[in-house]
């Protein structure tokens, strides 16, 4: 499968969401989509990032923008994470790494001195036509959601 590339339409792919919903990426056409990848459900940085998106959900909704969080966790772990933290958006379960590969977020990382494969915290902004218009890689959680919101506002002003 081709990889997502800036300025190009994102290839369509099936997603397994919390609530045991099956959707396609193309189902989100018509409004901007923020797709953020995090390493592991219920870990400190991932929780903080999700809560930051949650705290700003009304601002994203005013911009008519959907948020989806994604990791390699199984659906049950994603369901527990969403419920425990009260996230008002769906999480994608991607244990087979199809979505991760599409966005090239699996990287070799150092974990306690060992090289391991894992998700590099990344966020992608897809416009209403399904085109990848902005990406953030090697994301630092603090202040990140504000940057994403500004990009969404700029996208909507230009639309």
Tell whether 2 is covered by a domain. no
Tell whether 8 is covered by a domain. no
Q: In what helix (H) or strand (E) does residue 5 lie, and over which residues does it extend?
A: none
For every one of its 159 residues, what pLDDT tens digit does the chain have, with 9 covering 90 and above? 678 999 999 999 999 999 999 999 999 999 999 999 999 998 888 999 999 999 999 999 999 999 999 999 999 999 999 999 999 999 999 999 999 999 999 888 877 888 888 899 999 999 999 999 999 999 998 999 999 999 999 999 986
Tell whether 56 is covered by a domain. yes
Q: What is the number of structural domains in the chain?
A: 1
Identified catalytic residue from 46, 70, 102, 119: 46
Q: Is 100 a catalytic residue?
A: no
Tell whether 58 is covered by a domain. yes
Q: What is the domain-level CATH number for residue 33?
A: 3.40.30.10
Residues spanned by the domain of 135? 14-158
What is the structure's pLDDT at 117?
A: 85
Tell whether 63 is covered by a domain. yes
**Coil, helix or strand for 126?**
strand
* 119-143 burial: b if 16+ Cβ within 10 Å, else e: bbbbbbbbbbebbbbbbbeebebee
């Amino acid at each position: 499968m081709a990889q997502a590339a800036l300025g190009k339409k994102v290839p369509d792919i099936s997603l397994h969401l919390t609530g045991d919903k099956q959707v396609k990426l193309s189902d989100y056409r018509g409004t901007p989509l923020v797709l953020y990848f995090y390493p592991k459900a219920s870990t400190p940085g991932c929780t903080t990032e999700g809560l930051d998106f949650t705290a700003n959900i009304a601002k994203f909704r005013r911009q008519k923008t959907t948020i989806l969080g994604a990791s390699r966790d199984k659906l049950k772990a994603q369901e527990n994470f969403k419920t425990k933290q009260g996230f008002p958006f769906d999480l994608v379960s991607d244990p087979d790494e199809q979505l991760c590969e599409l966005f090239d977020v699996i990287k070799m990382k150092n974990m306690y001195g060992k090289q391991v494969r894992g998700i590099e915290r990344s966020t992608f902004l897809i416009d209403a036509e399904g085109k990848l218009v902005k990406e953030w890689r090697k994301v630092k959680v603090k202040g990140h959601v504000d940057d994403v919101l500004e990009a969404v506002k700029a996208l909507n002003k230009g639309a």
